[in-house]
Chains A and B, each alone.
Chain A
Amino acid sequence: AQSVTQPDIHITVSEGASLELRCNYSYGATPYLFWYVQSPGQGLQLLLKYFSGDTLVQGIKGFEAEFKRSQSSFNLRKPSVHWSDAAEYFCAVPESTGGFKTIFGAGTRLFVKA
């Protein structure tokens, strides 16, 4: 069965520092992969998605993610974090059967310190 693991429950970075959030997946074939962000009290917003092709994917808000098949990873990165990036981040992969449902990771909460 497919699964998504986000090893870090929370991460704290200083404003202006670089960020990497980890995501590992278990999937039978080349997966579609997604990252979402959720600000407090809000719904989730799609940051970026990987379907095929270039393994480095650019998203909104200056985020990017790299698909590494050999490591079953899809880590999210940002070169310089802003205080407004403080939020919870979710990695996700569709179920392989039918594609109607999505499996979400448990989320990583990002704290940004001044």
Chain B
Amino acid sequence: DVKVTQSSRYLVKRTGEKVFLECVQDMDHENMFWYRQDPGLGLRLIYFSYDVKMKEKGDIPEGYSVSREKKERFSLILESASTNQTSMYLCASSLPLDGYTFGSGTRLTVV
């Protein structure tokens, strides 16, 4: 069964910490995405990547960075976590112009 795996389901971090969220897909997909989901705000795209070492800013990239050193892995980095980054983070992958396969999500709480 093909899938997208996010390393943690729940994470609690302190303000100011550097946080790494890892995402791995086993479908050889070119495209990978990071979204955050907040009540009333829907899905908001943080960053995406269409190839190894390529990255593009989404709608809300401030405070985040990403890394894609291998095709199957796309990491989201919170450089200095803040309480307003408490959210559900969703990773997804896809072929071009195709539907997405999402991971189960990481619920991050920054205290």
A interface, CB within 8 angstroms of B: 32, 34, 36, 41-46, 49, 90, 94, 99-102, 104-107
Contact = CB atoms under 8 A, between A and B. Distances in A.
Contact of A99 (B58, B97, B107): B97
B90 interface: yes
B64 interface: no
A24 B88 CA distance: 26
Contacts, number: 46
10 contacts: A34-B100, A41-B107, A43-B4, A46-B99, A100-B31, A100-B48, A100-B50, A100-B56, A101-B58, A104-B43
Contacts of B101: 46
Given A43-B104, A100-B31, A49 B99 contact: yes
A38 to B, nearest CB: 8
Given A94-B97, A99-B97, A100-B31, A43 B90 contact: yes
A36 B102 CA distance: 10
Contact of A44 (B56, B97, B100, B107): B100
Nearest to A34: B99
B76 to A, nearest CB: 14
B68 to A, nearest CB: 13
Contacts of A90: 43
A104 B59 CA distance: 13
A7 B90 CA distance: 24
Interface string B79-111: 000000000001010001111111111010000
Contacts of A34: 99-100
A46 B107 CA distance: 21
B97 A43 contact: no
A106 B42 contact: yes
A46 B105 contact: no
B97 A32 contact: yes
